[in-house]
Amino acid sequence: MLNIEKNKDNDALVVSLEGRLDTTTAPKFEDELKNSLDGITALTIDIKKLEYISSAGLRVFLSAQKRMNAQGEMKVTHVSEAIMDIFEVTGFSDILTIE
Amino acid sequence: MRFFLGIKLGGLQQKIFNLMLIFIIALIGVYVTVSVALQNDLSKIVQNTSEKQQESIAAVSERTMKTAVTASMTKTTALQAYIADDLFSDVRTDVLTLRSFANELFVHADAFTAHAYYPPDKANDGVPSVQMQHEAGVDPSESEALGLVANMSEIMLSMFENSRQLSSCFVATPDGCILFADDRAGAYIAEDGSVYDFEVRSRPWYKQAAEAGELIFTGVESDAFTDIAGIVCAAPVYKDGQLAAVVGADIFLSAISDYVKTTANYGGFVCVINENGQVLFSPNTEGTFKPELSAVAPDLRKSENAALGQFITESLNGATDVQTITVDGAEYYLTGSPMPTVGWAVVSAIDKSVTDQPTAQMLKSYGDINKNALTSYQNGAKRATRIVIIATVLILLLAITGALFVASRIVRPIEYMTKRINALSGNDSVFEMEKIYKTNDEIEVLAESFAALSGKTREYIGQITEITAEKERIGTELALATRIQADMLPNIYPAFPERTEFDVYASMDPAKEVGGDFYDFFLIDDDHLCMIMADVSGKGVPAALFMMASKIILSNNAMTGKSPAEILTDTNAAICSNNREQMFVTVWLGILEISTGKLTAANAGHEYPVIMQAGGKFGLLKDKHGFVIGGMEGVKYKEYEVQLQPGSKLFLYTDGVPEATNAENEFFGTERMLDALNESVNAPPEEMLRNMRRAVDDFVKEAEQFDDLTMLGLEYKGGAQ
């Protein structure tokens, strides 16, 4: 299960994730992002309440990062230790802006 | 559900039926009430009108009748009185003439000789003649005056002959003799031929005339010889103040009597009352107006009937108006008119019931007509009521039938629809619009909706069937893909039976279907064993395809003898060149130099490998990581070296192992993974993987496995021995 909460302030968007981002829920997150990123120059993904991220979830993060590279900047906030481990293992910690 | 008359009790049909029935009964109730009320009103009006008309007719008729009777009676009575009185007036004149003649005789007695006179002679009966009679014991020959008055014989005879009213004329002498002029000599002679005595001075007329000293009329007296009722008019004649004679005339009142008798017609009659209030003449033979001889006749003026007494008194004094007086229990119109000569009165009487008879008759006829009309009206009304009742029953029956018909007509399509819908169980059944639903109302709309819904449902069922079939096909293909995928991975063990330097074992259990994990191991050359553990992002066919491509690219690169870092770098470049879907794969790739035990490896975002050096314990090798393959172009990977001693072991895995989740949503984790490995450090690779599998299963228990479980175990036994 994944809850996605979006807060838009002009061209800044904060997306908060809660739950599990895995093969089942990743497509939903991908769709949400795809439809929300037009004109956004500052994307913040808050994963404070994200319990788990699978490779399918990482793929969405990668897509988002690539798109934001073209139109602005993206950062990931409130990264838990467990997820930081995954980011590090997969090398995502190198390409994501983690705060 | 219970049924009555084919109607579902409590159903729509019954409700409609009830509604219609209530409406109709109310309508009939109003109709009947109004009809009955109108009929009653009409009956009353007819009856009232009839009564009023009858009263009115009675009043008008009686008034008219009375007016007519009054006018007629008053006039007639007056006329009758006048005529009757005229008779007596004539007689009076006659008697006065006789008296005057007698006076002359006595005054000039010397000038007259004695005239002959004769006793009654039977031969003269029926012939006018003069005859002498006398009282018993009187000798006519000794009478002084008889011869003198006999000189009046011719004049008396003439008078008698000339007057129809007179039954006789006479002259009597105070010595008891009398001369009659009449035509009934026979009546004075007895059967033995002797002449009846005649008590002259005892006769009422003689006494009354002598007493009064002037002309008198007697009451009605029986004639001395004929017993016929009559009246005598008499007048005394004096000589030197002495009564010398009494002259008179005898009137048979048969004329009046006969006339009076003829009046007894049509409930009316005329009667004559004398000055004493006694009835002289009347056609009546009984009752108050019965005529009787003066001696016994009652004085009606003093009648117990005060109104009658008053009326008789008034009538004798002057003409009266018509009065309504009850006599002998019957109502009479009475009117009286006096006869001045004799001081009597003529009274006319008409039985009111008779005059009222036309009115009564008319009223009766009218009443009969009205009654008939009323009866026929009432009969008509009764018939109308009967017709109303029959019509009501018919209407009710018709209405019930109609209501049943309408109700069933309304309900039948619904029932049919219900039946059809209930029958829609199989896939083939479809609810279709039918003629019975074409009611032009909500039912038609409902049926159309059902038909549309049914059509759509059928369509959906078709689609679902198609999709299911498609899914089935895809599932079959996926299963096939899974088999192909599994077959692509080395899965024949022992993998290298001729190689004693190492033992390698790997397994892959896809979570649901074809997955994105893969492992690979192959000999690049005799001294170099390449091992790959990889995890493609995502699942399913895309992941499987991507995995295939990755596996082939990786092994192709490896087979060219490149170092692990070069292999990953080149593979990344190859994949990124055509990866629009942003798929990536984490790869750990290591090349073991079999002869020396030197392991050169590079990690593209994959899990830490687990290594157990000979005699030690399994532990994570926190190696240097590069970014995932396919994630970004131009990534340079770095490799590292690990020296394996004989007896060292390597355990590679994908995230399915540490991220296996139990029902409490806990991860299996690397700690438990290491614990499981360290539990039996001596286990060869195959057993090592089996143990791990069991440990994971024990942990996960009933919870569903989310991810693939892919593992590879290597035991390095040492260089060529």
Candidate from B539, B584, B607 with C-beta closest to A89: B607
Which residues in A lie closer than 8 A to residue B572 (C-beta atoms)? none
Which uninterrupted H or E stretch holds B372? helix B352-423
Smallest CA–CA distance from A69 into chain B, residue: B632
Q: Which of B546, B572, B625 would best serve as a mutation to test chain A binding (most A beta carbons within 10 A)?
A: B625
Smallest CA–CA distance from B655 into chain A, residue: A54
Highest mean pLDDT among B14-18, B76-80, B268-272, B460-464: B460-464
Highest mean pLDDT among A19-23, B387-391, B530-534: B530-534
| Amino acid symbol at B698 | D
Q: What is the mean pLDDT of residues A55-76?
A: 89
- Phi–psi pair at A70, nearest 5 degrees: -85, -30
Structure tokens at B98: 């006789």
Q: Do A55 and B659 touch (CB under 8 A)?
A: no
Q: Which CATH class is domain B489-716?
A: alpha beta
Q: Which has more pLDDT, B616 or B40?
A: B616
Residue B350 has pLDDT above 60, yes or no: yes
B536 interface with A at CB cutoff 8 Å: yes
The size of the A-B interface in CB pairs under 8 A is: 67
Residue B721 has pLDDT above 60, yes or no: no
Domains of chain B, by residue range, sit at 1-397, 489-716
Q: What is the CATH number of the domain that holds A25?
A: 3.30.750.24
Candidate from B516, B582, B628 with C-beta closest to A91: B628
B628 interface with A at CB cutoff 8 Å: yes
Which residues in A lie closer than 8 A to residue B625 (C-beta atoms)? 88-91
List residues of A whose CB lies inside 8 A of any B CB. Answer: 22-23, 26, 51-52, 54-56, 58-59, 62-63, 66, 88-92, 94-95
* C-alpha angle B125-B126-B129 in degrees, rounded to nearest 5: 70
* Closest approach of A35 to chain B, Cα-based (Å): 17
Q: Do B655 and A22 touch (CB under 8 A)?
A: no
Q: What is the pLDDT of residues A23-45, one digit of tens each?
A: 888 889 999 888 888 889 999 99
- B339 and B346 in contact (C-beta within 8 Å)? yes
Q: Which of A2, A21, A23 would best serve as a mutation to test chain B binding (most B beta carbons within 10 A)?
A: A23
Smallest CA–CA distance from A63 into chain B, residue: B582
| Among the listed residues B508, B570, B590, the one whose alpha carbon sits nearest the alpha carbon of residue B544 | B508
- B579 and B549 in contact (C-beta within 8 Å)? no
Q: Do A59 and B535 touch (CB under 8 A)?
A: no
Q: Which of A5-9, A43-47, B394-398 has the lowest mean pLDDT?
A: B394-398
Q: What is the mean pLDDT of residues B124-141?
A: 87
Q: What's the start-to-end Cα distance of chain B, in Å?
A: 94
Q: Which of B533, B539, B572 would best serve as a mutation to test chain A binding (most A beta carbons within 10 A)?
A: B539
Q: Do A58 and B537 touch (CB under 8 A)?
A: yes
Q: What is the pLDDT of residues B139-174, one digit of tens each?
A: 888 888 888 888 988 889 898 888 877 888 999 999
Residue B227 has pLDDT above 70, yes or no: no
pLDDT cut 70: percent of chain B above it: 94
Residue B4 has pLDDT above 70, yes or no: no
**DSSP letter at B302?**
G
Highest mean pLDDT among B139-153, B249-263, B547-561: B547-561
Which uninterrupted H or E stretch holds B458? helix B442-488
| Among the listed residues B173, B134, B127, the one whose alpha carbon sits nearest the alpha carbon of residue B150 | B173
Which residue(s) pair with B238 in the sheet? B243
Hey, what long-range contacts does B90-94 have (CB within 8 A, 24 or more apart)?
B90/B163, B90/B165, B91/B163, B91/B165, B91/B166, B91/B233, B91/B249, B91/B251, B92/B215, B92/B233, B92/B341, B94/B159, B94/B163, B94/B166, B94/B169, B94/B233, B94/B249
Rounded alpha-carbon distances, angstroms, from residue B218 to A57, B291, B546: 169, 16, 178
Rounded alpha-carbon distances, angstroms, from residue B352 to B80, B268, B355, B440, B479: 21, 9, 5, 84, 137
Q: Which domain holds residue A30?
A: 2-95
Average pLDDT, chain A: 90
Torsion on CA atoms B385, B390, B393, B395, rounded to nearest 10: -100
- Rounded Cα distance between B237 and B253, Å, is 25
Q: Is the dihedral of CA B539, B540, B544, B546 positive or negative?
A: negative
Q: Do A55 and B536 touch (CB under 8 A)?
A: yes
* Confidence tier at B677 by pLDDT (50, 70, 90): very high
- B91 and B165 in contact (C-beta within 8 Å)? yes
* Closest approach of B626 to chain A, Cα-based (Å): 5
Q: Do B539 and A95 touch (CB under 8 A)?
A: no
Q: For every residue of B595-627, which 3-state class applies, written as one string?
A: CCCEEEEEEECCCCCEEECCCCCEEECCCCEEC
* Confidence tier at B72 by pLDDT (50, 70, 90): confident
- Rounded Cα distance between B312 and B300, Å, is 7
Q: Do B539 and A66 touch (CB under 8 A)?
A: no
Q: What is the mean pLDDT of residues B526-542?
A: 88
Average pLDDT, chain B: 84
Which uninterrupted H or E stretch holds A36? helix A26-36
| Among the listed residues B473, B534, B539, B490, the one whose alpha carbon sits nearest the alpha carbon of residue B510 | B539
Candidate from A22, A51, A62 with C-beta closest to B582: A62
pLDDT of residue B502: 93
Q: Do A59 and B583 touch (CB under 8 A)?
A: yes
Q: How many domains does chain A have?
A: 1
- B148 and B107 in contact (C-beta within 8 Å)? no
Q: What is the pLDDT of residues B412-446, one digit of tens each?
A: 888 888 888 787 766 556 777 888 888 788 888 88
- B431 and B44 in contact (C-beta within 8 Å)? no
Q: Is A23 left (phi over 0), alpha (psi -120 to 50) or beta?
A: alpha
Torsion on CA atoms B665, B668, B671, B672, rounded to nearest 10: 120
Tokens 């131009």, located at residue: B634
Residue B339 has pLDDT above 90, yes or no: no
* Closest approach of A59 to chain B, Cα-based (Å): 6
- B389 and B418 in contact (C-beta within 8 Å)? no
pLDDT cut 90: percent of chain B above it: 22
Smallest CA–CA distance from B622 into chain A, residue: A89
Contact residues for B174 (Cβ-Cβ < 8 A; gap 6+): B145, B201, B243, B244, B245, B246
Q: Do A94 and B627 touch (CB under 8 A)?
A: yes
Highest mean pLDDT among B19-23, B299-303, B507-511: B299-303
Q: Do B707 and A59 touch (CB under 8 A)?
A: no
Helices (H), ranges, B271-351: 306-317
pLDDT of residue B450: 82
pLDDT of residue B684: 93
Residue B235 has pLDDT above 90, yes or no: yes
Which residues in B lie closer than 8 A to residue A89 (C-beta atoms)? 586, 605-608, 625
Which residues in A lie closer than 8 A to residue B706 (C-beta atoms)? 22-23, 54
- Rounded Cα distance between B649 and B612, Å, is 5
Q: Do A62 and B659 touch (CB under 8 A)?
A: no
